[in-house]
């Protein structure tokens, strides 16, 4: 029994030492403009990603269309959480409304709820990154706002390294934030 516990402790110790050596963050991107909106508050629900994009392991699309996991590297945060925080931050900078990610931190429901379902999120080093899906705008407080829009964003991956891939992902999220901000800027007070 003691020998089994010692072997288990040794295995756990070795596993802890063999973790990834590099963790990658999604960098912040500048916001082009601030838009006014009738909405006072906006909630961004956690982004729904395809299963292959939810993992903290970083995968790259190969020339023959296969997603290949990169060894010894991971995203510094879970991709759905990191992308949600970047999107919420971009929307907060782009809109006159207060923006926060789920869970909603205030007592009063948000005027606008943003739901994003991603169908594609993959890129090739030195090539391009595709970020596609659909987003929805609704009014949790019972307003008449109901919008659904598809998006298909392709941005260049300006380099062969994973830092370039992370930068491309952030630029794609910033473009999506710009589209969503334009949509929210057209929301009337009667819709929320």
In terms of average pLDDT, the best of 53-57, 62-66, 112-116, 160-164 is 112-116
Q: What is the pLDDT of residue 91?
A: 98
**pTM, 2 dp:** 0.88
Residue 179 has pLDDT above 90, yes or no: yes
- Where would I find the beta strands (DSSP E) of 45-167? 57-61, 67-75, 98-101, 112-123, 128-138, 146-156
Q: Is residue 18 part of a domain?
A: no
Residue, of 69 and 136, whose pLDDT is higher: 136
Residue 2 has pLDDT above 60, yes or no: no
The domain containing residue 40 runs over which residues? 23-191
Q: Is residue 90 part of a domain?
A: yes
Task: Say which CATH number the domain at 165 has.
Answer: 3.40.50.10610
Say how many domains are in the chain: 1
Give the helix/strand (H/E) hosting 81. helix 79-94
Q: Is residue 97 part of a domain?
A: yes
């Amino acid at each position: 029994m003691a020998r089994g516990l010692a072997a288990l402790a040794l295995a756990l110790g070795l596993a802890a030492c063999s973790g990834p050596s590099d963790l990658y963050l999604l960098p912040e991107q500048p916001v082009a403009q601030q838009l006014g909106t009738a909405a006072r508050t906006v909630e961004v629900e956690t982004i729904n990603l395809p299963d292959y994009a939810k993992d903290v392991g970083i995968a790259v699309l190969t020339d023959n269309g296969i997603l290949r996991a990169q060894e010894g590297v991971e995203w510094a945060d879970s991709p759905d959480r990191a992308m949600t925080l970047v999107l919420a931050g971009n929307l907060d900078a782009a809109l006159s409304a207060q923006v926060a990610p789920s869970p909603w931190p205030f007592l009063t429901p948000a005027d606008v709820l943003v739901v994003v379902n991603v169908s594609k999120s993959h890129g090739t080093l030195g090539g391009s990154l595709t970020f596609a899906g659909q987003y929805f705008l609704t009014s949790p407080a019972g307003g008449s706002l109901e919008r659904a829009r598809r998006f298909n964003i392709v941005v260049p991956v300006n380099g062969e390294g994973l830092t370039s891939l992370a930068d491309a992902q952030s630029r794609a999220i910033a473009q999506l934030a710009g589209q969503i901000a334009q949509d929210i800027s057209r929301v009337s007070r009667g819709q929320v």
